[in-house]
Amino acid sequence: MKAIVVNERDNVATALEDLPVNKVVEVQVGGEVVSVTLLEAIPFGYKFAIQAIPVEHDIRKYGKAIGKSTTLIKVGAMVHSHNVDR
């Protein structure tokens, strides 16, 4: 497993190792496997979007809102301080 989704309500996954750009990563979301092609390199421990996240939408990890998106975050993009307001 290259990344983990903690709660089926989450819209981000967390990288369990350094992941290169264009890598296809499969994550389990509830009982479903979702494939995501990374748009950029994702360092170990960082988050990436597993679904498109509109502007000013909740970023959900652990089933809870951890911030709001400041831009449209595309599937496979890193989710970090450059596009999230806490």
Mean predicted confidence (pLDDT) in 21-46: 97
Report whether pLDDT(86) > 90.
no
Report pTM: 0.95
Q: Which long-range contacts (CB under 8 A, 24 or more apart) does 60-65 make?
A: 60/7, 60/9, 60/10, 60/11, 60/12, 61/6, 61/7, 61/10, 61/12, 61/14, 62/6, 62/7, 62/10, 63/6, 63/7, 63/8, 63/9, 63/10
Tell me how many domains the chain contains: 1
Residue 20's pLDDT is what?
A: 98
What CATH number does the domain containing 33 carry? 2.30.130.110
